[in-house]
Amino acid sequence: MIPSSDILFSSISEISTRLRAKEFSAAELTTAYCDRLEKIGAAHNALARPLRESAIRKAKDVDDDLKRGRTRGLLQGIPYGAKDLLAVKGHPTTWGSKIFAAQVFTEDAQVIKRLDKAGAILAGKLAMVELAGGVGYRSAAASLTGPALNPWDRARWAGGSSSGSGVAAAAGLVAFALGSETSGSIITPAAYCGVTGFRPTYGLVSRRGAMSLAWTLDKIGPLCRSAEDCGIVLAVIAGGDAEDPGSARRGFTYAPKFDRKVSDFTVGYAPADFDSVAADARPALQAALAAVKGMGVKIKEIKIPDFPHGALIQTIIGAEAASIFEDIIRDGRVDQLADRNQAASLKAALDIPSVDYLKAMRIRTLARQAMREIFYGGVDLILTPSRGEPAGPVTDALGGARPAPWIPAGNLAGIPAISLPCGFAGNLPVGISFLGRAFFDNHVIAIGRAFQSVTDWHRRRPPVE
């Protein structure tokens, strides 16, 4: 049986159940996803490299294992895509840039290894903004593959820098995708593309084998159909890694049966966050706020701590990225970047005084403490719009997007967040986010599951076939 598009848009649990019921084989499922990825993904500039041959080979191995009763978990036989900053042995890992177009690694990234061991099937590498959007890009076209086109409206942007991952998850090109976030690169494409994106606690998921943009901020996480799917994927990719200096050396178990009751949660929100969004996004976000209040949680008004979060994170990313990419800045290859503003910003970042970086890190410690005090003050979770506007035209400069202050604040603190589809502005998705305290990732996923049990926005599909 060739899986239908309804199956390809199903949850991981649903696909896994039907695969084990032998409604279709892993090879048939993988072929169907590869067909969509290569056709629709390419048309939306979301595909960096197809991996059909190795994916089908892996799928046949899974089919053989299933016939012999060798089961490994829910991700066995499930095709996925990975952002092209994750190393895949023997295949180019371009980091979204022609500077590194011929770069090939001899070892898989740690998260790829973990997924392979679980039986998941890598169907393709997904497009990204050059160098993960580091230091001041202003164009959606700042990518080796061109601007990622939103599957809800091809004239709109898919969001950066995990743009291909957002498109792939939204358009049913894979069952789930891996992205990365330094400051907004999971939350933004999840919101713009209408999928569920999860940013884990800093250090929970190994970055070994991933391009580094800012080593004190980088995180790898899933973009999925639902919060439950995020939990399933996170349980496989999380865990300590002695070879990642930023690893928290902690594991994660997804056990929804042990979730706290929603009525036990206190959710903090700042009314100004919902009042300052774009007019066309306001009705959906206000309705989402009302839905959360109707879930039985306790609500508490809060304010974002009074720190220059945006300026702090820009200084830290700039200084760390300039150190990482010093060689291409000094030898002139940086001028090959598609976005001239990004090239100029990287050059300027090389001149950031060490005293400015150290001062930013010192203030960051205070900002992180202020964030902890919100949680210690009786708040379990923070609710905020994921973005203040729906996706903008793909041809527009990106600097005009409305600020999303909890994105830099949450990333500076290294705390988990989930972006959930919550409605539409016209035909474009809108998302809300929940943030939680560090290593309370299960609480963040639990509130996401609760929200999606009373709404169906995560089940909506873009008009692509």
Contacts of 69 (CB under 8 A, 6+ apart): none
What is each CA distance from 67 to 14, 19, 25, 60, 70, in whole angstroms? 19, 11, 10, 11, 8
Rounded Cα–Cα distance for residues 162 and 180 (Å): 6
Q: Are 139 and 61 in contact (CB under 8 A)?
A: no
185 is catalytic: yes
- The answer to whether 162 touches 181, Cβ cutoff 8 Å, is yes
- Classify residue 457 by burial, with Cβ atoms within 10 Å: 0-12, 13-18, 19+: buried
Catalytic: 247? no
| H or E stretch at 288 | helix 282-293
Tell me which of 10, 25, 185, 247 is the catalytic residue: 185
CA 406 vs CA 45, 358, 374: distances in Å: 29, 22, 13
- Residue in 161, 163, 345, 419 annotated catalytic: 161
Whether 26 contacts 121, CB under 8 Å: yes
Q: Is there a catalytic annotation at residue 83?
A: yes
Distances (CA, A) of 414 to 183, 203, 367, 426: 10, 8, 11, 33
221 touches 199 (CB < 8 A) = yes
Catalytic residue from among 83, 226, 345, 433 = 83
**What amino acid positions are annotated as catalytic residues?**
83, 161, 185
